[in-house]
Structure 1
């Protein structure tokens, strides 16, 4: 009945809370909290996650939020956001909402540095987290540089249920980390990236305190953390499943200790220039449950390591080899022979790996679903022919600067891997229309296509794609042979397109813009920089029909003027970012939408 509140009269609190739990987005929850006071209170009770960016008074903000949202279990504080300081902040009183923190302070004077410190989360804020969020399970403190061991200790003493702690960029010391190990007996995940104040003492204490629960640890750019810490982890943390190390100070001794002591290890990511074959052979010998292995910038180990991995790690599913100069086809062959469950493979800048190594992967690893070949000059067409024949479940292929791969390889992939959903090719100059046409004719599940700077690809390729695939994402930046006909075919054949990059297409004009407006109503992001033939007329056709547009990049488009930019601003209600030359933005447009406009060219 009109005027009667049937929902609040009939539905109990429990049922409304159950409805709130099914909302996926924060905006939906916020909208419900505005309906009435009852819904506002219930929504606050049900919310379990809060994210805080740069703010003017984070300590006070945390204190206020802790009173309103009493059941929070996940708290994320990220102070990397760069925001301008309010004008005359020292002369007038500013509210909590108006004060914001500027992260990039290198150009400011010392007195300003002192003012900035007031806008960073401090030990008082950490104490408020402990007092206000005792049920917290996941805490992320990203680049909270004012937090110290004292604050971390006060938080740890009260947050007994903490399971995940991210201290990236925090200058906390050993006492704080030791307190976490002593008090937070349920801790499972720990991230210590760029924690320069830590030494072995703190990490050893944590490893002893959380020995029965710690499952994941990440260490990067911590100069004072050495093999001593890893030996403690290997000795005490028998449940460890994931480790990520990026350090110049870790040697074989530490990795050996982890390999021998943490037999349940499933994920290992290493960027340690002093680790050699000895350590990785131990990984292959002891870590039989390993599923993911990533090796970055290794210049002191050889195929012996991959022999051991292939022989012992039969469950390996994900392998990344980046800038490992001494690996060859023989090492990849050993992995293919032993790790037949491999589903993800990335080879990046390993210049001694060629066609034969990848052939063996194609023949042996039938479950391969994603393959990335970056800067692999020695891998030729026949390698991908074998992948096409053997890897029927391949869904994603990434090729970057592979100068020996051409249309024959892409045709083999298209005919053999019909489940392909993502194809990204960049600067592979032998790939042309024939290969992409084969993709359009055979890969009907393709939704994400990127052909950056593949200058042999033209309109006929996109016509085949438009007829055979329903793309959501398309990037043809730098494919100068593509013109109106190709983009029109995409507009007519891909109504679900949401992202489009057509930058540096010199032959593209207003007709394509009009067709995109008619055929792609779901378009959210478009990049049309360096398109000399597109004018205000085509831009107007596009924006008036694509009501969901959120970002538009249009620098170095001489046909787009001040009037065109104003049209975009006045038409697109959902626009979040416009990238354009500064001189094309009128004072009126700047007043109306200055917060969403970014400038590539600035006054010198």
Structure 2
């Protein structure tokens, strides 16, 4: 059968499928599509080595450290730790953003890794790092607001933590020296059992140090603290029942007062002293505005030294068994002319002479807060009438006070504006007189929860109580909106 060119061939020859070289040379568009698809799939894989092992794929390399730091600083704190795992550069940059740190491993500080990892620290807490705890112990010795430590089963409760749980002074000094040399911009430091030499290194290297919290301190330690000329906030913890014992007396308080003349806030916890120590602080630290005494061991007569604190605005007394054993004659007590706030928390107010002397010294106060204080009955409470300028009163867990005692006192205050009564079971809704309910209507702020079962009783319905206060708050919001 002859073949004619006009007719199609019924049995055409089979075409060879295109090879990879043909596609490589002729169909480059398809090749690009395949390569792009492979790259896209690699981006979706959890294996990050495909991305970050190649510098050309890291677009952040085009950004300077300053720009990338600014971007990372805007990231929420919950994502900061994952960001530090991206690469070594991000790890280092994230470390430069950390400002506050609590150290649990002292070797991390002593080896210099802390300073190299976090060079811009301003707030450091070394309290837990100064203690050596058994790693596999399930027994936890805890003291609220101070410290918690794991102990072994051989621990004998003799009132103090054994020496084997404390780091030696040489080790602490070495760590403080590394911290001071690596973090010259340190502003706040908290530590325990520091020696004089270690704190001197901090005082010399960290001239910007403003806040210091020192546990288990003594008079000798305060010599070094006095070298911190720019110190403004200081918390000293001397003796803590059940944990440790150390001595802070008038000698240390005098040294402190002569060295730290820029103090604004001072807290003395478990410290001894007397009239002389508080007087030295009042005379030398003329910028002192806030003084807190917690579980103090002061000798009798210290209360009258508060009159030397001419610019004191806030006085806090917490967990004190006795305010002042022997306050002395009234003519020697004096007063704090600038005092605005008096806070009493978990104190024993059983001695009328002590309570009376305290209110006489605080006669200029504008705000009184009494929380969970034992022995405060109506006879004690009425002594606060000496403070004639009180505008705000807060009572919480004062079980001996009655409605009559409260009423007799607040009617003696002509400038009274704010009242808060919480969990005072002997103050009854049913005993509120019409005169007291009328006073409630003109208060700017009122929180009345004498017990947990009821608010104001139905006998006060119809007295328009709280309406004037509501108008006051509405007026305040209008002023703020303008």
TM-score band, normalised by the shorter chain? 0.5 to 0.7
Question: Residues 300 and 287 (structure 1 numbering): CA distance in 2 closer, same or farther, change over 3 Å?
Answer: farther
Any unmatched runs of 5+ in structure 1? 89-100, 421-604
Question: Quick check: 1:164–1:189 contact (8 Å CA) kept in 2?
Answer: yes
Whole-angstrom CA distance in 2 between matches of 1:105 and 1:279:
52
Match of 1:177 in 2: 222
Match of 2:250 in 1: 200
Q: 2:265 aligns with which of 216, 227, 243?
A: 216
Match of 2:314 in 1: 267
Question: How far 1:205 sits from its partner (Å)?
Answer: 1.0
Whole-angstrom CA distance in 2 between matches of 1:412 and 1:124:
71
Partner SS state of residue 228, structure 1 = helix
Question: How far 1:218 sits from its partner (Å)?
Answer: 1.2
Provide, for residues 94-133 of structure 1, a one-character-per-residue CA deviation record: whole Å limited to 9, x for no partner: xxxxxxx9543573389x9676445997332222222222
Provide, for residues 177-202 of structure 1, a one-character-per-residue CA deviation record: whole Å limited to 9, x for no partner: 11110x21000111112352333222
Match of 2:286 in 1: 238
Partner SS state of residue 112, structure 2 = helix
Normalising by structure 2, we get a TM-score of 0.65
Q: 2:350 aligns with which of 291, 299, 306?
A: 299
- Equivalent positions of 1:473-488 (< 5 A) are none
Whole-angstrom CA distance in 1 between matches of 2:234 and 2:156:
35
Q: 1:149 aligns with which of 189, 196, 215?
A: 196
Question: Residues 253 and 109 (structure 1 numbering): CA distance in 2 closer, same or farther, change over 3 Å?
Answer: closer
Match of 2:100 in 1: 49
- Equivalent positions of 1:25-174 (< 5 A) are 25=77, 27-53=78-104, 55=105, 57-58=106-107, 60=109, 63-79=112-128, 85-86=134-135, 102-104=149-151, 107-108=154-155, 116-117=165-166, 122-141=172-191, 144-145=192-193, 147-168=194-215, 170=216, 172-174=217-219
- Which stretch shows the higher mean deviation, 228-237 or 321-330? 321-330
Whole-angstrom CA distance in 1 between matches of 2:180 and 2:437:
58
Normalising by structure 1, we get a TM-score of 0.53
Whole-angstrom CA distance in 1 between matches of 2:267 and 2:70:
36
Question: Residues 372 and 283 (structure 1 numbering): CA distance in 2 closer, same or farther, change over 3 Å?
Answer: farther
- Work out which of the two has the higher radius of gyration on C-alpha atoms and give 1 or 2: 2
Question: Residues 410 and 5 (structure 1 numbering): CA distance in 2 closer, same or farther, change over 3 Å?
Answer: farther
**2:367 matched to 1:323?**
no
Provide, for residues 345-389 of structure 1, a one-character-per-residue CA deviation record: whole Å limited to 9, x for no partner: 124436255335257649967753x72434442554444856753
Whole-angstrom CA distance in 1 between matches of 2:187 and 2:374:
37
Report the aligned-residue RMSD.
4.5
Match of 2:400 in 1: 351
Match of 1:228 in 2: 276
Partner SS state of residue 286, structure 1 = coil
Match of 2:7 in 1: none
Partner SS state of residue 134, structure 1 = coil
Whole-angstrom CA distance in 2 between matches of 1:116 and 1:192:
21
Partner SS state of residue 167, structure 1 = strand
Partner SS state of residue 260, structure 1 = helix
Question: Residues 352 and 113 (structure 1 numbering): CA distance in 2 closer, same or farther, change over 3 Å?
Answer: closer
Question: How far 1:8 sits from its partner (Å)?
Answer: 2.0
Whole-angstrom CA distance in 2 between matches of 1:412 and 1:309:
42
Whole-angstrom CA distance in 1 between matches of 2:57 and 2:437:
66
Question: Quick check: 1:250–1:274 contact (8 Å CA) kept in 2?
Answer: yes
Partner SS state of residue 245, structure 1 = strand
Partner SS state of residue 178, structure 2 = helix
**2:62 matched to 1:13?**
no
Whole-angstrom CA distance in 2 between matches of 1:119 and 1:51:
20
